[in-house]
Amino acid sequence: MLTRLTTLSRRTKQLILLWLDILLVPVSLLVSMAVSSSTIPFLQEIRAELPAMILLSVAAGFISVSLGLPRVQLKSYELSALGRSAALGGMLAGMLAIMVLMGQSNVQAGTPVILALMYSVFSATSRLVLLQILLALYRKNVDETRVLIYGAGKTGIQLAMALKSTEDVRLLGFLDDNSVLHGMTVAGQTVYPAQRIEALIRSQNVDKVLLAMPSLSQPRQAQIARRVAKMKVEVQTLPSFAQLIGQEEIVDKLAPVLPNQVLGRKHLKDALDGGCTAYRGRCVMITGAGGSIGSEICRQILSCKPERLVLLELTEFALFSIDRELRALAEDTGTEIVPILGSVNDARLVDATIRAQGVQVILHAAAYKHVPMVEKNPLAGIANNVFGTQTVAMAALDNKIERFVLVSTDKAVRPLGVMGATKRMAELIVGDCARRSKETVFSMVRFGNVLGSSGSVVPIFYDQVSRGGPVTVTDPEVTRYFMTIQEACRLVLWAGTLSEGGEIFVLDMGKPVKIADLARQVIEAAGYSVQDKDNPDGDIEVITTGLREGEKLHEELTVSPRLSQTAHPKLGCAREELLTEFEIVRALQSLRGAVETGDADTAVAEMMHWLKRDLDNNLRLAESLARG
């Protein structure tokens, strides 16, 4: 029978509420009489007041309808509706007072005032009881969601009030970091310490946690969300009401780190100017043209107004993207853009492209450069970085092009890992070509980490900050050299112009930067604070994960103790020994055999064997130079 209450029509429910307002009149009057006389009314007293009860009950019906009380839904009964009930009680009290003065009622003088109070209380209480009965009936046939609200502030309270009338939601309480609120009752719910969140989720079988603290920083919200999600509980975040109505912007706090904050030296802003000599009016081919370094070289070289720009790229979408971008940029220069989809290991494609397009200058930027990826896939790294370089360099040598520039890395110096080792092998190949060539000028450009390149540390830090941390560094003492991607590419182009053959160019990169300090800079530049032992309430934590396989604590730009000065004030030239031509041939033969058989261990061991001999030669040279 009670369950049928949930299926009643709207009109029937209004009639029930109207009759409730009418029936509360005699109840309230009897209670008022008892309170005013401090005794239970006798039967004759009730009979004497029966006409007054009937008159007041009829009046209550009319007044209730005029005030719209029956139309107020139980779940919407709040302060304004309570005021209407109080107004109805006051009118009834006024009518009773008039009847007392006219001698139509014998109740004591204070009874009308008590009636007003009693009627208001009974009206509100009866509706709240009905609401709870209906909610219980609805929940009986509905799967309810058990929720906790994180945040007992203004937003949390308003959310709790809204959830009270939701049939399929069971609010279990609040969580808050503010110790002043702990144990208090807010909006009818207990406020628990945030530290108890795991215990409450387990004991209360919580299904969902609602974050109602829009003023809390995004990293802190993300930390809470991850903590709760680990317990297989859904987390939802509620924006502030100011944000919802547009008075407050919902923005991402992340801001870019300025280059001079990271580099620890003055940013190089000089234009290419004289660095364009080797490229103006010529056909230039860039390998790896769709990568971060290759694409920036393409953009910068357009200012030199080459006759033709040949883009060799393995990834179709990367080639499509840079081709479309460069065609728009090349409208002012008249440079022809030629996209070539293919691999640097495809000797026939490389040779045919050089011949067909009349390539005069090659900037070789194609490489697998991410240390962990190459470490896990050594055969792919060797095939691309070593034999890809050999393929392009030999094609340049055979076709007697004017210039060839290899984009190298500081990881090629005393390499511990596969990636650095493959880049040093690439340097040895190019150096050997320079030694054998009479027409083509071969050179190498070696530099450190590039800010903004794909997979570089700063974008990774930004991503970690945006997800609330933690920010990870491999070792608190690890350092790296840094440059912007614009500086790196300008260096490559200048080196190609200044080269006379066989040089390893190195940028004056200033002092190496501590990665742990860089992590702190990124966090603070994004508008957050670092969480550590001195600031346990900070937003983002920096954690140490340990050096990865093949990774060094400190990088260096050359084994040589000094650099030769060049015509460019920021470009030095390293003097290093090469393996003999015979040694390089033997090393490449053994490497190719291991790659073709798929023997990764043998390939890596063979490469490291020859590079150890190379390092010993250069250490002896460095000692000799240091002595005199």
Average pLDDT of span 422-441: 95
Quote the pLDDT of residue 367: 95
Q: Does residue 257 have a pLDDT over 50?
A: no
When mean pLDDT is compared across 217-226, 238-247, 299-308, 560-569, the lowest value belongs to 238-247
Highest mean pLDDT, choosing among 188-202, 244-258, 395-409: 395-409
Quote the pLDDT of residue 344: 97
pLDDT digits (tens, 9 = 90+) for 106-125: 777 778 888 788 888 888 78
Q: 326 exposed, middle or buried (CB, 10 Å; 0-12, 13-18, 19+)?
A: buried
pLDDT digits (tens, 9 = 90+) for 35-56: 877 777 767 677 777 787 888 8
Q: In angstroms, how far is CA 14 from the centroid of its own chain?
A: 52
Report the relative pairing of strands 145-150 and 189-193 from DSSP bridges.
unpaired
Quote the pLDDT of residue 243: 47
SS3 state of residue 524: helix
Quote the pLDDT of residue 252: 42
- Cα–Cα distance for residue pair 448/509, rounded to 1 Å: 8
Average pLDDT of span 310-314: 97
- Cα–Cα distance for residue pair 399/576, rounded to 1 Å: 27
pLDDT digits (tens, 9 = 90+) for 56-110: 888 888 888 887 777 776 656 666 677 777 888 888 888 888 887 787 777 777 7
Q: Is 244 or 462 the better-scoring residue by pLDDT?
A: 462
Average pLDDT of span 401-413: 93
CATH topology of domain 145-243: Rossmann fold (3.40.50)
Quote the pLDDT of residue 582: 94
pLDDT digits (tens, 9 = 90+) for 439-460: 999 999 988 777 766 667 777 8
Give me the torsion for CA of 22, 24, 26, 30, rounded to 10°: -170
Nearest to 202 by CA among 246, 160, 172, 179: 172
pLDDT digits (tens, 9 = 90+) for 317-358: 999 999 999 998 888 888 999 999 999 999 999 999 999 999
- B/e letters for 619-628, b = 16+ CB within 10 Å, e = fewer, are eebbeeeeee
Report the relative pairing of strands 308-313 and 283-287 from DSSP bridges.
parallel
Q: Is 376 or 510 the better-scoring residue by pLDDT?
A: 376
Average pLDDT of span 604-609: 95
Average pLDDT of span 271-293: 88
- Cα–Cα distance for residue pair 344/355, rounded to 1 Å: 15
Nearest to 241 by CA among 156, 147, 151: 156
**pLDDT range class, residue 23, cuts 50, 70, 90:** confident
**pLDDT range class, residue 219, cuts 50, 70, 90:** low
Quote the pLDDT of residue 294: 93
Quote the pLDDT of residue 355: 97
Average pLDDT of span 607-622: 90
As beta bridge partners, residue 404 has: 362, 442
Task: Give the side-chain half-sphere CA count within 13 A for 318.
Answer: 21
Tokens of 26: 């005699």
Backbone angles phi, psi at 173, to 5 degrees: 145, -175
Dmax over Cα atoms in the chain, in whole Å? 131
- The chain-wide mean pLDDT, for the chain, equals 83
Q: Does residue 419 have a pLDDT over 70?
A: yes
- Predicted TM-score (pTM) of the model is 0.64
- Cα–Cα distance for residue pair 210/620, rounded to 1 Å: 66
Residue 479 DSSP one-character state:
E
Residues, the chain, total?
628
Quote the pLDDT of residue 343: 97
Nearest to 84 by CA among 102, 113, 64, 56: 64
Evaluate whether 396 touches 404 at the Cβ level (below 8 Å). Answer: yes
Helix (H) or strand (E) holding 588: helix 581-597
List where CATH 3.40.50.720 sits in the chain: 145-243
Quote the pLDDT of residue 135: 67
pLDDT digits (tens, 9 = 90+) for 365-384: 999 988 889 999 999 999 99
Q: Is 514 or 248 the better-scoring residue by pLDDT?
A: 514
Evaluate whether 409 touches 423 at the Cβ level (below 8 Å). Answer: yes
Residue 386 DSSP one-character state:
I
Quote the pLDDT of residue 137: 65
Nearest to 88 by CA among 70, 64, 112, 71: 64
Average pLDDT of span 591-618: 93
Contacts of 148 (CB under 8 A, 6+ apart): 171, 172, 173, 174, 175, 197, 200, 201, 204, 206, 208, 209, 210
Q: Does residue 7 have a pLDDT over 50?
A: yes
Quote the pLDDT of residue 251: 37
